[in-house]
Amino acid sequence: PQTIYLKDYTPYGFVVEAVHLTFTLDPDATRVKSRIAFAPNPDATDRTFFLHGEDLTLLSARIDGAEVTPSLTEAGLTCDVPDGPFTWEAEVEIAPDANTALEGLYMSDGMYCTQCEAEGFRKITYYPDRPDVMGVFTVRIEGDLPVLLSNGNPQQAGEGWAEWHDPWPKPAYLFALVAGDLVAHSDQFTTASGRDVALNLWVRPGDEGKCAFGMQALKKSMRWDEEVYGREYDLDVFNIVAVDDFNMGAMENKGLNIFNSAAVLASPETSTDANFERIEAIIAHEYFHNWTGNRITCRDWFQLCLKEGLTVFRDSEFTADMRSAPVKRISDVIDLRARQFPEDQGPLSHPVRPESFQEINNFYTATIYEKGAEVIGMLKRLVGDEAYAKALALYFDRHDGQACTIEDWLAVFADVTGRDLAQFKRWYSQAGTPRLSVNEEWDAEAGRYTLSFHQHTPPTPGQPDKAPQVLPIAVGLLNANGDEVVETTLLEMTEAEQSFTFEGLTGRPVPSILRGFSAPVVLDRDPGPEERAFLLAHDTDPFNRWEAGRQLARESLLAQITKGAAPDAAYLDGIATLVRDDTLDPAFRALMLGTPTQSEMAQVLHERGTVPDPDAIHAAAEALAEAKALRLAPIFDALAMACHVEGAYAPDAEQSGKRALGSAVLSLQTRRDGGVTARAQFESADNMTLQLAALTCLVRAGQDAEALAAFEEQWRHDRLVMDKWFAMQIAATAPDNALPRAEALTAHPAFDMKNPNRFRAVLGAFAMNHAGFHRADGKGYDFVADWLVKLDAKNPQTTARMCAPFQTWRRYDAGRQEKMRAALQRIADTPSLSRDTTEMVSRMLQ
Ligand code: HT7
Ligand code: ZN
């Protein structure tokens, strides 16, 4: 496959002045007529007229009304064109019903639907399918379906046809069309400047009862973006559509967002608190793209983090404002460490702005999204809130309507602050997770305390040597009583080694370093259990308080695994004290009860030079949970009281925090009472959060046969709930049982490999059962590899994403390594393997 390089970017030879599309819908033979006004691009030198096009049957082509015969290739067409402006017209035929890749125009249960980002529009018609070519689209849809939607504002409609016009120039990746038998949950929003916007959430009949929460989330997002970023919505209508077959979470098409139904539909009976929170965040994310992505888009796909990193950062700020800021920050860091750190420290490591790719779909990664958001968080910390707000205002002002680069983005910060951001820019070009080590010096006589830091980023593929990066390190100092003697101070580290001094102290302080996780680094520092226990008890920074508990748990697990030690009493005591503290937010206490995942422990062991044994890690995790259950047993009842929720179910921060703590306690309680409490909760639950939490406990306890059958019987008609049923019983079961269970579930009548949600529910959940996936006999690897090979022929994008569990193969023992490598090689050797999967497995094997 061909490699595309950032350095080779050149502007397109033409500008698009207007695009008219007419769709005549048919599942097997949809006709697409295009009329596009082109003019020479004064900023370009190369005037080759190339239009992308894939899997299209060209029926006719005309330039300025005269028939032409373009040269066709697999990737598109070229044609001789006049020197000045001209009109291109073409008619193509496509087959949406045969499109199982879910890219371009496809069908989901009788409904027509599109997904064009990143390069799907070229499967709809011939077009310069690149984000720097922006045009004003007018779309006519003809089809015998009640609802016909496209981007922008509705123009005219009649029986079996509708016309839409989007006044805002946009790249083709933001094009969307939906047609089907849909019903709307409608509402209305008045913008700050008084414009009325009609809001519709379109769903399949039967799903109307799952729309109210999504609509409220949309209205909250619209208001928040006005209040915090000064951004108003800019069309008369905002449509959201829920689709069952979708490769990712959702897509921000201009004025017509398309959502995976799992990312928008919710009701208390069928959705967990976590689902509600995720839906609120995704609705916000897609809505926020209207400015950060749509009004200002990316010049090329190497700049993907320009819209994704910024939009993730904005949606995190939104969730922090709507719910609890510390809880959101801790959850984001858990997620970053679980998904981005392994990526950045393995064969798939790439910079936040990559310099080359073969298949852009493989770069919608945790690095681009989550590390991209961390980079913006650091920038904001460094320049301060006020300068950040000014820089963003300038960004919107200066670049509205443009396709931009990271250079444009950084220039607004440089212009507003006068800072030289050349070194900061390394965050965009250098891959890998920096490691930060610390030395302390205390001069009692002078009352001077010095922190000396050393930063080092290990080599990553193609980048053996790294230069020092700008690290904002937030530090606070506590005295021996636990009082804060130096409030959070931002140290700006720019050198490989650098010292910072605090004067005027009356006693040796205890440092709280990297507060709020102020930079996405690994902090290599072992202050010992006493200091961690002290910070767990006293740190005023909630993130570092949680981190102290997390590190105690990590060290306990390490000692259990490598030295056969018993679970650490200091950790158990600290947690027991904290979890009882009713002044603390229950959601925070629930997070405190969590422990590192088994996969995280494998990573930590590997970093410390010990080959991880998945069975030993599982045994240690079980022993720690048992010890915690024993330690907390005397306060189970008191905790259950603290988790009591008054009144009707609401998926708000307060109630869901209580339920999160309740679920954490229930899982410990199940270890003591054999599942009696969980079974009672399962039977009496009137919401999915409580029901699923109880079922998960029963699965973990191996007491699940009846409950699983009852749950299936109750929910067999609801595809989103059934995804939970499939996933949870595989992820939470004992490792020995995971493979037989996953194999059996692939034979279940409701298993449908063509539906990405269902495929992920089985195969993705299996890979999350760490010791089950990493069975010593290698059968877990073979099972996943077999299914990936099968799926690749239908849906390359989802297949390639689901290769990720293999990325850590070099961590494990020789036997497992060889079996994982062989499974990867078998995937790589599959005849006609997609470009997507080929790129992923070959990067992993390199
Ligand atoms: N911008 C979108 C990214 C995306 C996508 C979404 C759905 C299906 C395929 C996709 N390819 C790329 C999602 C987002 O970040 O908002
Ligand atoms: Zn996004």
HSE-up of residue 106 (Cα within 13 Å, Cβ side): 25
Which pLDDT does position 603 carry in this prediction?
Answer: 96
Nearest atom in ligand 1 to 282's CA: 16
Which pLDDT does position 188 carry in this prediction?
Answer: 98
Nearest atom in ligand 1 to 260's CA: 7
| Ligand 1 contact via 613 beta carbon (within 6 Å) | no
Q: Is 344 strand, coil or helix?
A: helix
Dihedral of CA 443/444/449/455: which sign?
positive
Closest ligand, as measured to the CA of 311? 2
Annotated active-site residue in 119, 142, 286, 555: 286
Q: Is 619 exposed, middle or buried (0-12, 13-18, 19+ CB in 10 A)?
A: middle
| Ligand 1 contact via 328 beta carbon (within 6 Å) | no
The Å distance, Cα 705 to ligand 1 centre, comes to 38
R_g (Cα) of the chain, nearest Å: 27
| Ligand 1 contact via 364 beta carbon (within 6 Å) | yes
The Å distance, Cα 679 to ligand 1 centre, comes to 40
* Tally: H helices and E strands in the chain: 30, 31
Residue nearest to atom 1 of ligand 1 (CA): 251
Which pLDDT does position 1 carry in this prediction?
Answer: 85
With contact defined as beta carbons under 8 Å apart, do 478 and 539 qualify? yes
Nearest atom in ligand 1 to 103's CA: 9
Distance between CA atoms of residues 118 and 474, nearest Å: 37
Rounded to 10°, the helix 835-845/814-828 angle is 150
- The DSSP code for 70 is P
Nearest atom in ligand 1 to 308's CA: 15
HSE-up of residue 42 (Cα within 13 Å, Cβ side): 0
Rounded (5°) CA angle 531-532-538: 85
Q: Is 315 strand, coil or helix?
A: helix
Single-letter residue type at 216: Q
The Å distance, Cα 293 to ligand 2 centre, comes to 8
Rounded (5°) CA angle 230-232-237: 165
Distance between CA atoms of residues 680 and 379, nearest Å: 50
Q: Is 162 strand, coil or helix?
A: strand
Would you give the end-to-end CA distance of the chain in angstroms?
16
Q: Which helix (H) or strand (E) holds 588?
A: helix 586-593
Going along the chain from its start, the domains and CATH numbers come out as 4-181 (2.60.40.1730)
To test ligand 1's pocket by mutation, which of 173, 248, 314 has the most ligand atoms within 8 angstroms of CB?
Answer: 248
Cis peptide before 118 (omega within 30 of 0): yes
Which pLDDT does position 760 carry in this prediction?
Answer: 98
Distance between CA atoms of residues 828 and 805, nearest Å: 15
Residue nearest to atom 7 of ligand 1 (CA): 248
Rounded (5°) CA angle 335-538-530: 90
The yes-or-no answer on residue 839 being catalytic is no
| Ligand 1 contact via 359 beta carbon (within 6 Å) | no
Residue 536, φ and ψ in degrees, nearest 5: -60, -35
Q: Is 155 strand, coil or helix?
A: strand
* Buried/exposed 75-89: b ≥16 CB within 10 Å, e otherwise: ebbebebeeeebbbb
User: Residues with beta carbon < 5 A to ion ligand 2?
Assistant: 308, 311
Residue nearest to atom 12 of ligand 1 (CA): 117
Single-letter residue type at 164: W
| Ligand 1 contact via 521 beta carbon (within 6 Å) | no
ipTM value for the complex: 0.98
Q: How many C-beta neighbours within 10 Å does residue 437 have?
A: 15
The Å distance, Cα 89 to ligand 1 centre, comes to 29
Q: How many C-beta neighbours within 10 Å does residue 268 have?
A: 17
Residue 523, φ and ψ in degrees, nearest 5: -90, 110
Distance between CA atoms of residues 151 and 168, nearest Å: 10
Residue nearest to atom 2 of ligand 1 (CA): 251
| Ligand 1 contact via 307 beta carbon (within 6 Å) | no
Dihedral of CA 661/728/332/627: which sign?
positive
With contact defined as beta carbons under 8 Å apart, do 265 and 214 qualify? yes
DSSP labels for 209-246?
A: GG-HHHHHHHHHHHHHHHHHH-----SSEEEEEEESS-
Which pLDDT does position 234 carry in this prediction?
Answer: 98
| Ligand 1 contact via 252 beta carbon (within 6 Å) | yes
| Ligand 1 contact via 319 beta carbon (within 6 Å) | no
Q: Beta-strand (E) ranges in 144-195?
A: 147-150, 153-158, 161-170, 177-180, 183-190
| Ligand 1 contact via 251 beta carbon (within 6 Å) | yes
Residues of the chain with pLDDT under 70: none
Which pLDDT does position 557 carry in this prediction?
Answer: 98
Q: What's the farthest any 2 CA atoms get from each other in the chain?
A: 91
Pairing of strands 153-158, 161-170: antiparallel
- Smallest CA-to-CA distance from 16 within 131, 119, 123 is with 131
With contact defined as beta carbons under 8 Å apart, do 252 and 290 qualify? yes
Q: Cα 769 from chain centroid?
A: 20
Pairing of strands 403-404, 297-298: parallel
Nearest atom in ligand 1 to 797's CA: 9
